[in-house]
């Protein structure tokens, strides 16, 4: 894939920032307080193509690279992390499995749905199993030419709004673990699904819910990849997805830095602006250093994916781990600079402080990222081969 020139990247950033500030800015606090993105806002996000970021142009999508998608997610999350993570999942995580591993008729149907404004969710985590994804218990059985899917998924971003889901389910025996997992496209069907929105601490409004599948009937062709061959596709999706998830944390970091820096320039203490005090200078400098280091790591990881470099899983985890650890540091320091006001519900930083914690947990904990990094160094993690006909 040819990387976009800087002018193109800056145009994408400028457009996303303008949209975020004009459309999301006035309702960002309301989205957080009500844990809901209004329908008209979702419609405008869809019209911008942000729920279909990586859908190829031949299917009607923007056809963005991962780096371009990262920049969009960063700018949306700078204003509303809830909307930012929605675009990340539907626009950047869901399309690649369809593009590279689904049959043509499935790609034709679901990629075009995304391009026309549908919202998708990625259903992997279960009450039993987060990091240990190979232990999932949701079951898919082939009966009379249809897959019958039953099980419970939880912490599924976008599921409250989703038009369809990518669902990881067991098609082998429990003892098969990762060798018995397949991936399916499942349309929303409230006759066989119960969707219960969860009250999360941060990234509110993202439609994160628990989803109960009760004998949902799925066409035979809606399997992505081979039977019992879905786990590698799931892991590859997470390897790429961690980069854009990290970019939402980058947007949160950027917002926190801007809030604290502006406050420090305006607030006076002992006869001079806070920013002129050496201790505050130290905190501001540390925030800026960590912010730019995370940005560089995320962009490098995204470029590795776009170039098809095989070591991108390691860099994905490096970027995600840095965004989590240093992201928490940056937002904590922003609150420290702002003192009591930063700690109040009137402050934007209070919301950002709740948001950033998710980066340490979602799409793999910090500890899981450390495992991926070391296993990659040992040569034990390699991305799956993608179909040349779909590349």
Question: Are 320 and 326 spatial neighbours (Cβ–Cβ below 8 Å)?
Answer: no
What are the chain's domains? 6-115 (1.10.540.10), 120-228 (2.40.110.10), 231-381 (1.20.140.10)
Q: DSSP string covering 160-181, please?
A: TT-SEEEEEEE-S-GGGGGGGE
Q: How far apart are the first and last CA of the chain?
A: 10
Backbone dihedral angles phi then psi of residue 153, each to the nearest 5 degrees: -115, 150
Q: Is the pLDDT of residue 29 over 60?
A: yes
Give the Cα separation of 66 and 241 in Å (integer). Answer: 9
Q: Are 86 and 119 in contact (CB under 8 A)?
A: yes
Residue 53 is encoded by which pair of tokens? Answer: 């970021």
Please check whether residue 251 is in contact with residue 84, taking contact to mean a CB–CB distance below 8 angstroms: yes
- Name the percent of the chain lying above pLDDT 90: 94
Q: Over the stretch 362-377, which tens digit does the pLDDT of each residue have?
A: 999 999 999 999 999 9
Closest CA relative to residue 87, chosen from 74, 96, 98, 100: 74
For 143-184, write each residue's pLDDT tens digit. Answer: 999 999 999 999 999 999 999 999 999 999 999 999 999 999
CA 159/CA 157 separation, integer angstroms? 6
Note the pLDDT of residue 56: 98
Instruction: Evaluate if pTM is beyond 0.85.
Output: yes
pLDDT, tens digit, for every residue of 84-123? Answer: 999 999 999 999 999 999 999 999 999 999 999 999 999 9
Question: What is the spatial distance between Cα 80 and Cα 347, in angstroms, rounded to a whole number?
Answer: 14
SS3 137: coil
Phi, psi (deg, nearest 5) at residue 2: -80, 125
What is the number of residues in the chain? Answer: 391
Give the pairing of strands 164-170 and 181-187: antiparallel
């Amino acid at each position: 894939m040819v990387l976009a020139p800087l002018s193109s990247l800056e145009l994408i950033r400028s457009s996303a920032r303008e949209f975020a500030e004009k459309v999301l800015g006035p309702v960002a606090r309301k989205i957080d307080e009500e844990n809901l993105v209004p329908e008209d806002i979702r419609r405008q996000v869809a019209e911008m193509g942000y729920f279909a970021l990586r859908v190829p142009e031949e299917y009607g999508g923007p056809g963005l690279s991962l780096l371009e998608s990262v920049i969009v997610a960063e700018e949306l999350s700078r204003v509303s992390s809830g909307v930012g993570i929605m675009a990340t999942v539907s626009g950047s995580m869901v399309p690649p499995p369809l593009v590279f591993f689904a049959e043509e008729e499935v790609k034709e149907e679901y990629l075009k749905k995304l391009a026309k404004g549908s919202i998708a969710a990625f259903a992997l985590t279960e009450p039993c199993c987060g990091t240990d994804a190979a232990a999932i218990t949701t079951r898919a059985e082939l009966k009379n030419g249809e897959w019958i899917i039953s099980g419970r998924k939880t912490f599924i971003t976008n599921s409250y709004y989703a038009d369809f889901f990518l669902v990881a389910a067991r098609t082998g025996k429990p003892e098969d673990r990762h060798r018995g997992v397949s991936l399916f496209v499942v349309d929303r069907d409230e006759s066989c699904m119960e969707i219960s929105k969860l009250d999360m601490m941060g990234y509110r409004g993202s439609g994160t819910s628990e989803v109960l599948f009760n004998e949902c009937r799925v066409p035979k062709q809606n399997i992505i990849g081979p039977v019992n061959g879905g786990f590698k596709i799931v892991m590859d999706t997470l390897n790429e997805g961690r980069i854009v998830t990290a970019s939402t944390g980058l947007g949160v970091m950027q917002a926190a830095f801007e809030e604290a820096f502006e406050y420090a320039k305006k607030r006076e203490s002992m006869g001079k602006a806070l920013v002129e005090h050496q201790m505050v200078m130290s905190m501001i400098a540390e925030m800026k250093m960590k912010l730019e280091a995370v940005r560089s790591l995320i962009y490098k990881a995204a470029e590795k994916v776009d170039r098809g470099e095989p070591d991108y899983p390691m860099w994905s985890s490096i970027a995600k781990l840095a965004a989590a650890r240093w992201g928490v540091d940056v937002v904590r320091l922003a609150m420290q600079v702002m003192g009591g006001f930063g700690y109040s519900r009137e402050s934007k930083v209070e919301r950002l402080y709740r948001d950033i914690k998710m980066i340490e947990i979602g799409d793999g904990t910090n500890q899981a990222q450390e495992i991926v990094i070391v296993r990659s160094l040992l040569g034990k993690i390699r991305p799956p081969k993608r179909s040349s006909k779909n590349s």
